[in-house]
Each structure stands twice: as structure tokens, then as C-alpha cells.
Structure 1
């Protein structure tokens, strides 16, 4: 549905061209919700604006619904844009128009008959749950209601693609949940392809199927949301995931740990559970099999796209052979293990 190949975008600067996007390549399938996440200045908003040619790429190719966007101009570009809806962080509603009139605007601009516009506006107001607020002006609407109007306006021309540029950044947490739930329902019921730009990993976790992490204009990691959350490879990805899933050790524990092995010391390691393994009584089984003693330091279970993901940090005491056998046992059961370090036997770790 959306194919981006080797996309580069340069802007003029006082000391020469500044590269904002550097060789971006992405494939987004029809009906998929794809998240683009990055810090401020990573290039994510420029990327989404290139998709509908609000910004012209310097080099590269962008295909949306089999159209090569970079070759289009004038009427052909206008026609292609009608198949691409867009919603913005700050809503961009006309203050002099009611909710219904804002939704009608794109249909008026392309010359739809008045009766057809009225029917479509009614459909869109019902879709976003604002039928009773059709005659309210933006100043009379809450932030969430304004964004609902923005979504309805973006969908008025029946696009196949919806671009969301920081669509929830101006909203409070509860309203954000409501808007994300609406986007999920729209994706499900209309089969829309959604490209979601955000700097919040919680937003990605809530609605996206796959995600690409941008840093300094480059894709540094991409994949299924569950995979990126549970096994982030790049430091930027790990930073984003850490904001949602806190895996940092308490400072008092981390300061006492070191790496050199000794049979007189206790081993500290983290077990990572995903999917069905999250329900296994793995610690009790290791106690029974290998005679180890465990001090549970830290634990957390979360759900990502409906699948459980948990971490358990433990301190193990026993013989070195028993510790190694326990680690081998965990790996044979397809559990990921991270060795974090060791603490002296006389200085038990405290979470």
C-alpha cells in the first residue's frame, strides 16, 4: 500500500544542505497500522509530509496505492491526495466553521453535490460519535472532540490511507486512550492503512502492528511491535521501551554488582518471559531440580498486543554447577536470560 525506497530529504542551511532524511526504506501493507517513532528532530514529521507531497523528497521513491507520488503534479497530485487523509497534532480546524462545516470542507473543495456532502457529513459525525455536536464551533469543543472532527474531516473523501502526525500529543492521557481506541476501530471497520507518527512508545504499543524507530533521519530498527518491545536492539529503541517497561535495576543493587565470577558470590540474572512461557512456574522448578535458593529482586508482567511479556530479576545462591545447570534449563525452555552480574554472598542484593 505504501512503499518508500531510499528516501532522502535535504533542507538548505546557513552552512550548506542539511540532511533530514537519509535513505529511508519502508514497506507498509494494506490495512496495517504502522508506527513511526523518534525523538524531536529525528525526521518523522518530514517523512509523513513527504508521503503526501506536502514536502518534496530530494531523491527516492514513494508509492501509495500503486501511484508513484514523486512524479505527480497539479490535478494528478490533487486526485492522489484525495486518497490520503491526514490528521494533525493541533487539529487545524477553521474557527469560523461548525464541526459539520469543517468536515464538509474537503468535499466542497472537490465539488461534490450538496446532498451528497450532507449525507457524508452525517456518516462521519456518527462514526466519530459527534452527531449531537454538529453545530458546535471549535471553541466550544474539547481537545478530544476537536481531534474527532479532524479525523472525520480526514475520512470524508473516503481515503484508503490515513496519516497521523502526532495526533494525540496535545491530548490528556484519558482522551488519548479514547482517540487511539477510535483509530483502532476505524482501522478494523474501514480497512484503512494508518501511518502513525509519534514520540510516545505507549501510543505505538496501543495501536500499531509494526514500528520503525527513526534517529537522525535514519531507520535504526523496525519490526513487529511485540518484537521491538520485548527485544529492542538499538540504544534509541531501548530508551523508548524503557519509558514504558521499566527494566532498570535499583541503583543500590547496581552499585554493588560486578562481573568477575566466584563460587562465594550470588549470581544476579533476569529471566524474560514471552507468550505462553509467562505462565510457567519456572522458579519453583529450578529450586526443585537444582537445589538453588532464590531472592526475587524485581518482577513485572505486561501485555503487548494481547500477549503477555514479563521479566523477573533474581539473585541465585548455590554451587556454580547448579547455577549453570539452571541457566541451561531456562534456555532449553526457550526463555531469554540476561546475566546482570554478581554480588558477595555476605552482601545480599536488595531491590
Structure 2
């Protein structure tokens, strides 16, 4: 798992999709003949309730059904599955979406589904007595995260660059893939030096004590929508009504989660996990605070994509003129949040 200079400079290449592979892989799940599919295949996250799953439980997806095909621990893998037609929508951090689009994947971002605010954020944590207290202390150290080429590696890279480390120095910091449920344990057993923890897993670890943050993505970039759901262009063309119901329903669920007392949101999520019978522990859900999406209804502004276009171009991973935000997303299928300001970033009862 060791990271080399070459691997660093080929950030996000685990997406590994050529124009040929994705161009002929835009299977959509749409039925043959007349009519539009009313079933959307997707991947979930163990022990979590995605906003799409919440929307379905709230009845916001109307007659559109979700078909769970398994779990993922990687946003890049999830949108790769969407681009190749294994699922009908997938979600990842926006840098991965930009990179995938730059590789000529026929996808479109349709709604933001997670982000960072004062409740929902990813932190880079070390043990309380760790000697790691500054960016340069990370040289030669191992940083455990859920996947390479995703949100966490991007934020680590931005942090190190903003603190003045050179490319050669950054290459000395070693990102490692560690399943989220094992990351805290790996840190406490000193198998890694830094653990990236977010949401329920973060708060559960902080409750135990003995760890402290080196930095968080919210401290680094402020409140921002970090990831979007994507669908293939072909799916959107063949199933516009289904896409509209889905995207709008997800947007309504985001707004519901903001305006509803936190205890009620947590209770509903716990009930969802118990009813779906996937052999999961619902206990960590009590730590849920927010999905962190910055805009009302999850609507996309373009700035959350431009951030990563500029950054990837600066690194030499893409040509700055290769992609434009306007070509990467659409709000045409989202009837939620139109003409309204984003509700407060806190949930009632938090």
C-alpha cells in the first residue's frame, strides 16, 4: 500500500476509466420498449442511511423504488459503477467526479448529497500523546483513510501544499486504505499514525477520548458541498421523469433532515437500518448530526466543482480547459430548493 512519487502524481488514477471503457458502458437499467424504469439500482454504506434511502423511506420517491445491490466504502468505486452501468446512480467527492468526467465518462452530477459543516466533517486524528503536531511531522507517517483517490487524500494533499511542503516531501506521507469501521482501532493500536474519521465513527471515537485532531476539512475549507450523485447522460435521456422524481426526492429529504428535530431523524434512520436486515449495528446512528450539504435542496452551484478543477489542473492531473463546471452538472431534474435560501446548518435538537 506504500505510496510512491509516481502514484502521488497520478492522483485518482484508481478510477482507471478510459473513454472507450465508459463510452460503451453507459447501461442504464431502462426497460426496452416504451416506458421508463421505476427501479434504481444503487450501493449503500454499512451502518449508514444515505440521503437516497431516507428519501425513499419518507415517500419522497413516489413510485420509484431503490434496489440495493451491495455496499461500498469508496466514492470513486461507486461512481465508476454508475458510469459502467452496474448501478443507476452513484456518489463521490467532487474531485473524483471531475476526474472521471475528464476521462470522457458520459456522466452528469445531478445533486449534492454530502458536505462539510460544523457538525458533518472529516478530521485527521492522532493519538493524544503523538509527536505529530505539524504538517512536517507527517513525513514518513501513515495516514489511514477509506480509499485512495477520494475526499480524504485530496484534503490531505491540500493541507500539505497549503502548509508549504514540496512535492518530494508530500510523497513521503503515506496514505493507506483502512476500512472505516477499523480505522479507529488501527490508530489506537499504532498500526497507523493518523486516522481520518468522520460522522458517527468520529464522534464515537472522540467519546472514548485519547485522540486529538491535527486538522479537519471544515477548518481547511469552511462549509461546502463535497460530493454529488451522478447519473449517465444516457440514463437521463431515457428516464427523465424517473430522474426528476429521484433527484427532487433526495433534495426534499436533505431539507427535511435540516428542519426536523435531530432525535426524530435519528429515530427514523435507526428504524430504517433495523428493518432492512443487513446485519448492521444501528447504535452509531445516535451520533448523526447533519449531511453537511451547503445549498437548499442539494442544488449544485458549480463552485463546488470549480474548486477541484482548479486544484487538479494546478497539480497537472488534468488540463484546466479540459472540463467546465457547466458541462459537469445539471439542476434541471431538481425541483427542490428552487428560489429558497439554504436552511440553517444545524438540525433542531442538536
Classify the TM-score, shorter chain.
under 0.3
Normalising by structure 2, we get a TM-score of 0.25
* Higher RCO structure (Cα 8 Å, ≥6 apart): 2
Per residue, is there more helix in 1 or in 2?
2
TM-score after normalising by structure 1: 0.25
